Each structure stands twice: as structure tokens, then as C-alpha cells.
Amino acid sequence: MGLDRRRTIAVRTPAEFDVRVLGVDPGLGCTGYGLVEGHGGRLRIREAGAIRSQAKAELPERLAQIHDAIAEVLEEFQPHALALEELYSEYDFPRTALLMAHARGAICLAAAKQKIPVWGFPPSEVKNAIVGHGRASKEQVQDMVQRLFKLPQRPTPNDVADALAIAVTGVYRADSAGSMNGGGKNGSHT
């Protein structure tokens, strides 16, 4: 099918963490993903990378590629939730927003097929969780992700850093809700 899933960060150690959230920054050309685990205020990246669909393929084929790659990650790691940034209504480029919505649909379908809850976060909530204020720039978010995980450089492509920020927001929500079996599923759903 021409699937291109590139792992940029991978940790293969026994899982001792309570919460596993897959953050996804959807895009038709490049979808960033990051699996973050949390335990007692500690965070670690289990895996992160980017999924690239074939640029010359038709839209349905590209969506199938994104769906299949996310389904593969979900199957391999069985996260407690999948976290996505919510769409917002003020887009300078409506076509880009529409394509992102298609990608989000393919991602949500992959999660629904595996009965994994999907949590949606407004961009301001992700920025607030990572930087401390909802109007932070993308660069500030990426710098904080780098610092938070003590990475030698910002994760690349930028979609990966964004996905990790979304996953961290999900872990924080799960932690503040108590446990994954209780309040963690009460968040907003996409």
C-alpha cells in the first residue's frame, strides 16, 4: 500500500507506567504521532514518529494509508486513549482544514474499531498544558516538548512534537481525573 511509518523515538523497556496516551497531529501528507506514558507525575515517550501518505495517491487511498498506520500503532501499544487536537472554526485555509478533517476521521475510525476512546483538546488547552498559557507559539510548544523529555533537539518533523504535546495533555487529563478506569474517560470526545 506504500505505507511510510517512520519511528523517530522508540523505547523498548518494560511498561511500568499507569497511563498510555497516543497523541496524533493529523495531516494528509504527514501525520505525527507520539505515545506518552505517565506514572506518578513522571512522563516518558514510548514511541514517536511520522506517517506519510503517498502524495500522488487519490484521497481515499491516502486516508486508508493513515488509517492502517494508526491502527498498527494502536494494535502494537494498546493505549488507554487516543488524543487529537480539536478542529477550530477560524481557518485561513479552509481546504487545509477540510483535508485535516478527513485525516481525523480515518484516525478516529481506527480507534473506534479497537474500542479506544478518543479525546479532543482545543489548541489552547494543549498549549496551556505544555507551556502554561494558551497563546503560546508553535515554537514555544516544541521547545517545551524538547525540554520536558530532555531530548537533544526538537523532534522532527514538527508534527511529531505537536503529537507529543497532545499526548502529554491527555496524560495530564487522565492523571487529574484519577485513574484510567474512572474519570479519565470523562473528557471531551471528538
Residues taking part in catalysis: 25, 85, 159
- Is 177:184 a contact under the CB 8 Å cutoff? yes
Question: Which amino acid appears at position 139 of this protein?
Answer: E
Q: What is the three-class DSSP state of 4?
A: strand
Cis peptide upstream of residue 14 (ω within 30 degrees of 0): no
Q: What is the dihedral of CA 86, 28, 10, 76, to 10 degrees?
A: 80
DSSP state of 86: P
